[in-house]
Amino acid sequence: MIIKTQPVSTSTEIKNLPKLHAPRNEIMAFDLEWVKAAQANTSAIERRTNSLPGRRSVKKEYQAGWMLKAISCIDLTTLSGDDTANRVRRLCAKALNPVRRDILDALGIEQITTGAICVYHDMVGTAVKALEGSNLPVAAVSTGFPAGLTPFHLRLQEIRESVKAGASEIDIVISRRHALTGNWQALYDEMCEFRAACGDAHVKAILATGELGSLRNVARASLTCMMAGADFIKTSTGKENVNATLPVSLVMMRAIRDYHARTGFRVGYKPAGGISKAKDAVTYLALLKDELGNSWLTPEMFRFGASSLLGDLERQLEHYVTGNYSASYRHAIG
């Protein structure tokens, strides 16, 4: 039984945030000097991020509000070798109704959805059909995900096929070797071709930050991909040994802020891989608000790449309205 409780906070920090209708990021001329000027002070970055959870904690109805915000920014994902059409259809149903109706009623919330569904190319058609009539976008991982080592012409064709199948967002993986060898021109040229192949579909550039060797390379790869027209920059495929971290997120957010200051274009951010707890999601949102402001606190500009995070967020929301923790199996994520 759900106990009726006070509505979640209507603070402008978590509700009624501005809808962003900024122009789409455009391909600009490659500026190697700007890229090479990007540096990263690892010790300072770690000090900043290590202190964040304690300095930016929220409680009670504010915490519930931030968790609802986190749900609205999830790219609900299934990227398994044993994916089936039925699994994808269940995931789509969960994306459209991510929180049990009794919990939403107790919170005073009419409706909420996740930010998108993310699947392999072969499941794009199934997801598009399952979401027909809704505004929920389908994202497809592409370009030889997760390694990005298939022949280049096949990576471009994979993008085109996913767009043709109905994907409105394409998550591409960069060639890590370009970043590891400092061949930023090659990375820029590759990203420009990926962007062109996407057409009207928005492109998220996955940097695979756990394999780039240094935070400096993360900063430089971020700037290079944004110059080449990336609509989002994303940390990881979720398949690396190290995926999203707060230090990497700070570096990428600072690159986004620098790019916006110089060009006027807003680029989105997507941490992915390893974010499975509600408290961690709130910490990422706090960092985003600190570094980029309220304009990025929307599904149009921020996404979590996650599969299990939704289950913990729903579980924590039930704890907020009842005072009790339920078993994880009562909060299916698809």
Mind listing the pLDDT tens digit for each residue in 291-333? 999 999 999 999 999 989 999 999 999 999 999 888 777 776 6
CATH number at residue 282: 3.20.20.70
Query: Given pLDDT bands bounded at 50, 70 and 90, which one contains residue 22?
Result: low
In a domain, residue 31? The reply is no
In a domain, residue 324? The reply is yes
pLDDT at 283: 95
Tokens of 49: 């991020």
Query: Given pLDDT bands bounded at 50, 70 and 90, which one contains residue 162?
Result: very high
pLDDT at 59: 83
pLDDT at 230: 98
What's the mean pLDDT in 270-286?
95
pLDDT score of 19 more than 50: no
pLDDT at 333: 64
pLDDT tens by residue, 170-187: 999 999 999 999 999 999
Interatomic CA distance for residues 169 and 292, integer angstroms: 22
In a domain, residue 143? The reply is yes
The percent of residues in the chain predicted with pLDDT above 90, rounded, is 86
pLDDT score of 244 more than 50: yes
What's the mean pLDDT in 235-247?
95
Strand order in 268-270's β-sheet? 268-270, 232-234, 202-206, 169-173, 138-141, 116-119, 74-77, 304-306
Q: Is 329 exposed, middle or buried (0-12, 13-18, 19+ CB in 10 A)?
A: exposed
pLDDT at 331: 72
Which ranges constitute the DSSP H helices of the chain? 32-37, 42-50, 52-55, 60-72, 85-96, 101-107, 124-130, 152-165, 176-180, 184-198, 215-227, 246-263, 278-292, 309-322
Amino acid symbol at 6: Q
**Structural domain of 75:** 56-330
What's the mean pLDDT in 193-214?
97
pLDDT tens by residue, 71-130: 999 999 999 999 999 999 999 999 999 999 999 999 999 999 999 999 999 999 999 999
pLDDT score of 143 more than 70: yes
In a domain, residue 45? The reply is no
In a domain, residue 225? The reply is yes
pLDDT score of 20 more than 70: no
In a domain, residue 44? The reply is no
| Residue-averaged pLDDT of the chain | 92
Write out the catalytic residue numbers.
171, 234, 270
In a domain, residue 209? The reply is yes
Domain count, the chain: 1
pLDDT at 208: 97
In a domain, residue 19? The reply is no
